[in-house]
């Protein structure tokens, strides 16, 4: 199972293995205070794609397509997440305010499609 959570939300027992999936460290969070198993910068969108998207909902579908193309070029960046999700709950941590248009959601959809076969 793959779930999403903003880094600003409290940790709970149902989170399973927690991974930060952002290229940049979230503002206002001290590194030692964020409970997580790893910071997976390489699974995040490239700087160019992230800047192009700018969290503009009108660009969401195009962003997802471009992000999937990047992910398909680097399976080593996300295969460990897929393996972890096959074994239990994985929580993808993100910092975006927009819960409906962010890279963690796009990554979750991408991984779930691969889990389903």
Q: Are 104 and 96 in contact (CB under 8 A)?
A: yes
* Beta carbons within 8 Å of 106's beta carbon, 6+ residues apart: 63, 64, 67, 68
Determine the 3-state secondary structure of 39 from DSSP.
Answer: strand
Q: Are 19 and 40 in contact (CB under 8 A)?
A: yes
Residue from 45, 49, 102, 107 nearest 81 by CA: 107
pLDDT digit string (tens) for 8-21? 999 999 999 999 99
pLDDT digit string (tens) for 46-60? 999 999 999 999 999
| Domain count along the chain | 1
Determine the 3-state secondary structure of 111 from DSSP.
Answer: helix
Which regions of the chain are under pLDDT 50? none
Q: Which domain holds residue 26?
A: 2-115
Quote the pTM value: 0.95
């Amino acid at each position: 199972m793959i779930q999403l959570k903003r880094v600003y939300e409290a940790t709970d027992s149902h989170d399973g293995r927690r991974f930060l999936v952002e290229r940049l460290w979230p503002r206002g969070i001290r590194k030692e205070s964020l409970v997580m198993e790893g910071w997976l910068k390489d699974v995040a969108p490239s700087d160019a794609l992230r800047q192009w998207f700018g969290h503009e909902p009108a660009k969401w579908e195009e962003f997802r397509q471009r992000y999937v193309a990047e992910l398909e070029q680097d399976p080593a960046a996300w295969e460990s997440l897929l393996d972890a999700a096959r074994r239990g709950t994985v929580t993808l941590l993100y910092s975006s305010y927009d819960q409906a248009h962010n890279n963690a959601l796009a990554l979750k959809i991408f991984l779930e499609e691969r889990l389903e076969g």
